[in-house]
Amino acid sequence: MVSELTEEPQRTAINIDIKTYSKTDIKLVVLDMAGTTVADGGLVEQAFSRAAERLGITPGSPDHAEKLDYVRATMGESKISVFRHLFGDETLAQRANTVFEAAYGDLVDGGRVAPIPGAREAIEQLQDAGRTVVLTTGFARVTQDAILGALGWRDLVTLTLCPADAGGRGRPYPDMVLAALLRTGAADGVREIAVAGDTVYDMRSGCRAGAGIVAGVRTGAHDERHLRAGGATHVLDSVAELPALLAGFSR
């Protein structure tokens, strides 16, 4: 089902030569969490299964399998948007989202998350180089805070954002990236922003925001083919490679 997400026309900047970017220093870096800077070991699927069961969807049934496939295909999208698609009715969607977030939070509290190797060091390197780093997620604020707390990252960056912090629209909309720019004032324009994530939705969000660099990483949900089809200007093995990439674009 992931292939269905790549029907949007590819961004023409995908193969633009590095000289196009070399005049612009990246001042603001917007990073996704789960799959990009944080490894959660498939907790999204586990939390969804708990939520689905609470709503009367039998594990192992065709309905459960179909919905789980959609959850996998839409990794990176705002979770409430996913549940709206799956359940149609807003009341059911909100209920499913509440149960999902609670289940995910319980799993996080159980020590089931860890940093992507080199992620914290990469964030610190970016900040040491004078760049502002913002962490974003498709989860609700309570879940994002639980992840940050479990990792000891509450004071790692100056700003973290969830969809509710950007008017309620998560990825693939550009709202969180633009909110990061407006709230931090770290860049003079969108071309001075770099976005990094592991899903097609991260790529689309960065492209729609007009970010100068939209980097996909191979540590999460979607592979290089889908990341590039989503608009990635670069694809990295992991976020640990991002500081070196951005160093090449400094004035």
Residue 16 has pLDDT above 80, yes or no: no
pLDDT of residue 127: 97
Residue 193 has pLDDT above 80, yes or no: yes
Q: How much is the mean pLDDT over the chain? A: 86
Residue 132 has pLDDT above 50, yes or no: yes
The continuous run of DSSP H or E covering 108 comes out as: helix 90-109
Indicate the range of 19-28, 97-106, 110-119 predicted with least confidence. Answer: 19-28
Give the CATH fold of the 2-40+114-247 domain.
Answer: Rossmann fold (3.40.50)
Per-residue pLDDT reduced to its tens digit, 48-87: 888 888 888 888 899 889 988 888 888 877 788 888 888 8
Q: How confident is the model at residue 5 (pLDDT cuts 50, 70, 90)?
A: low
At position 203, the amino acid (one-letter code) is M
Residue 103 has pLDDT above 90, yes or no: no
Q: How confident is the model at residue 250 (pLDDT cuts 50, 70, 90)?
A: low
pLDDT of residue 177: 97
The percent of residues above 90 in pLDDT, for the chain, comes to 53
Per-residue pLDDT reduced to its tens digit, 226-243: 999 999 999 999 999 999
pLDDT of residue 19: 42
List of residues 6+ apart from 51 with CB closer than 8 A = 96, 97, 99, 100, 103
Indicate the range of 7-16, 48-57, 95-104, 183-192 predicted with least confidence. Answer: 7-16
Per-residue CA distances from 131 to 7, 25, 91, 147, 214 (Å): 33, 10, 41, 23, 16
pLDDT of residue 97: 85
Residue 10 has pLDDT above 60, yes or no: no
Per-residue CA distances from 28 to 25, 124, 138, 200, 242 (Å): 9, 13, 19, 21, 13
Residue 223 has pLDDT above 70, yes or no: yes
- CATH level 2 (architecture), domain 43-109: Orthogonal Bundle (1.10)
String of DSSP letters for 25-44: ---EEEEE-BTTTEE-TTHH
CA distance 239 to 216: 9
CA distance 192 to 181: 10
Query: Higher pLDDT residue, 54 or 9?
Result: 54
Residue spans per domain, the chain: 2-40+114-247, 43-109
Structure tokens of 97?
Answer: 């989202």
Per-residue CA distances from 128 to 33, 46, 226, 251 (Å): 20, 37, 32, 16
Q: Around Cβ 148, how many Cβ atoms within 10 Å? A: 21
